[in-house]
Amino acid sequence: MDKAKSERFILWFDEITKADIPLVGGKNANLGEMYQNLTKTSSKTFPGEKIAVPYGFSVTAAAYRYFISANKLDQEIKDILSGLDTKNIRQLEDKGQAVRQAILQAAFPKDLQEEIFAAYASLGKKLKLSASALDVAVRSSATAEDLADASFAGQQESYLNIRGNHALLDAIKKCFASLFTNRAISYRVDQKFDHFQVALSAAVQKMVRSDQGSSGVMFTLDTESGFKDMVLINAAWGLGEFVVKGVVTPDEYKVFKPTLKQGFKAIISKRLGSKEKKLIYASEGMSPTKEVSVAEIDRHTFALSEERILRLAKWGAIIEEHYKRPMDIEWAFDGVTKEMFIVQARPETVQARRDVRVLEEFVMEERGKVLVQGTAVGAKIGAGKARYIKDATQLDEFKPGEVLVTEITDPDWEPIMKIASAIVTNAGGRTSHAAIVSRELGIPAVVGCGNATTVVKTGQPVTVSCAEGEVGKIYEGLLKFKINKHDLTNFQAPKVAIKMIAADPELAFTHCFLPNKGVGLAREEFIISNFIKIHPNALIDYNKLEDKKIIEQIDELTIGYENKVEYYVEKLSYGIAQLAAAFYPHDVLLRFSDFKTNEYANLIGGKLYEPEEENPMIGWRGASRYYDPKFEQAFSLEVAAVKRVREEMGLWNLNVMVPFCRTPEEGKQVLDRLKKYGLTKRINKKDLAKKKSGELTEGVEVWVMAEIPSNILMVEDFAAIFDGFSIGSNDLTQLTLGLDRDSKLVAHIGNEKNKAVLVLIHNLIKKAHSLGLKVGICGQGPSDFPDFAEFLVKEGIDSISLNPDTVLKATIKIKEVEDRLGK
769 within 8 A of 793, measured Cβ to Cβ: no
Write the CA distances from 323 to 1, 109, 148, 287, 570, integer angstroms: 22, 37, 11, 37, 34
234 within 8 A of 256, measured Cβ to Cβ: no
CB neighbours of residue 105 within 10 Å: 11
Write the CA distances from 371 to 467, 615, 733, 817, integer angstroms: 16, 36, 40, 46
654 within 8 A of 642, measured Cβ to Cβ: yes
Per-residue b or e along 691-726, where b marks 16 or more CB atoms closer than 10 Å to that residue's CB: eeeeeeeebbbbbbbbbbebbbeebebbbebbbbbb
Q: Where are the beta strands (DSSP E) in 311-369?
A: 327-333, 340-347, 358-364
Q: 90 by DSSP, 3-state: which?
A: helix
Per-residue b or e along 804-822, where b marks 16 or more CB atoms closer than 10 Å to that residue's CB: beebbebbebbbebbeeee
As a whole number of angstroms, the longest Cα–Cα distance in the chain is 94
On the question of a cis peptide bond just before residue 250, with omega within 30 degrees of 0, the verdict is no
Q: Is the dihedral of CA 231, 232, 237, 238 positive or negative?
A: negative
Q: 514 by DSSP, 3-state: which?
A: coil
786 within 8 A of 484, measured Cβ to Cβ: no
Write the CA distances from 133 to 5, 49, 119, 162, integer angstroms: 30, 30, 15, 10
Report the C-alpha gap between 347 and 634 in whole angstroms. Answer: 46
Q: Nearest 5°: CA angle at 114, between 112 and 116?
A: 70
Q: 91 — alpha (psi -120 to 50), left (phi > 0) or beta?
A: alpha
Per-residue b or e along 567-603, where b marks 16 or more CB atoms closer than 10 Å to that residue's CB: bbbbbbbbbbbbbbbbbbebbbbbbbbbbbbebbbeb
Out of 175, 433, 511, 535, pick the active-site residue. Answer: 433
Which residues, listed in sequence order, are joined to residue 298 by a DSSP beta bridge?
A: none
For residues 155, 156, 157 and 158, what is the CA-based torsion angle, rounded to 10 degrees?
Answer: -100
Report the C-alpha gap between 196 and 188 in whole angstroms. Answer: 10
Report the C-alpha gap between 457 and 582 in whole angstroms. Answer: 38
Q: Among residues 784, 767, 787, which one has the least CA distance to residue 725?
A: 767
Q: Among residues 350, 318, 653, which one has the least CA distance to residue 517?
A: 653
Residue 466: active-site member = no
DSSP, residue by residue, 675-715: HHTT-PBPPPGGGGGGS-GGGGGGSBPEEEEE-SHHHHHTH
Report the C-alpha gap between 385 and 296 in whole angstroms. Answer: 36
Residue 778: active-site member = yes
Q: Among residues 214, 251, 204, which one has the least CA distance to residue 334?
A: 214
Backbone angles phi, psi at 136, to 5 degrees: -125, 160
Per-residue b or e along 437-464, where b marks 16 or more CB atoms closer than 10 Å to that residue's CB: bbbbbebbbbbbbbebbebbeeebebbb
Report the C-alpha gap between 439 and 232 in whole angstroms. Answer: 15
Q: 47 by DSSP, 3-state: which?
A: coil
Per-residue b or e along 219-243, where b marks 16 or more CB atoms closer than 10 Å to that residue's CB: bbbbbbbbbbbbbbbbbbbbbbbbb
Q: 423 by DSSP, 3-state: which?
A: strand
CB neighbours of residue 76 within 10 Å: 16
Catalytic residues: 433, 778
